[in-house]
Amino acid sequence: MEKTYVVIPKNCTGCRTCELACSMVKSKRDEAGALGKPRIHIYPTGPQRYMQMTCLQCVDAACVKACPSKALVLNEETGAVEVDEERCVGCGLCEAACPFGHIRFDRDLGLPLKCDLCGGDPACARFCPYQALEMRP
């Protein structure tokens, strides 16, 4: 059964637990054990209001179309657009092509950072204490 990643802004308190969970699960830690950059970001939109910004996993994704090396591919099982790090040439066109600004190019790594839904079980949704992020059937 296919699941859908759902963002529910009205439930977000801005606690940023999702960012921490993402950093812990997805980052490549350095020797000092420092966390990397999350694939989800929380932005204030008003008094005690927040918006979670992460890849929308577009069906007709502009980032996929813009990638000259075909390094962005759809995972048919999870529905997520994933980065094939071996194919990525580090051009950054994916970041420029995303109309929502939800893919970021990490200049240090030479790779795009984008949500891949953690293989269908996103850590951000699993650890959100307010159910502001969910995977629904």
Backbone dihedral region for residue 57 (phi beyond 0: left; psi -120 to 50: alpha; all else: beta): left
pTM for the full model?
0.88
Q: What is the spatial distance between Cα 38 and Cα 27, in angstroms, rounded to a whole number?
A: 7
Range 63-100 burial, b when 16+ CB lie within 10 A, else e? bbebbeeebbeeeeebebbbbeeeebeebbbbbebbee
Say if residue 58's pLDDT is above 60: yes
Q: What is the pLDDT of residue 28?
A: 65
* pLDDT digit string, tens, across residues 72-118: 999 988 889 999 999 999 999 999 999 999 999 998 889 999 999 99
Q: What is the spatial distance between Cα 78 and Cα 37, in angstroms, rounded to a whole number?
A: 22
Say if residue 8's pLDDT is above 60: yes
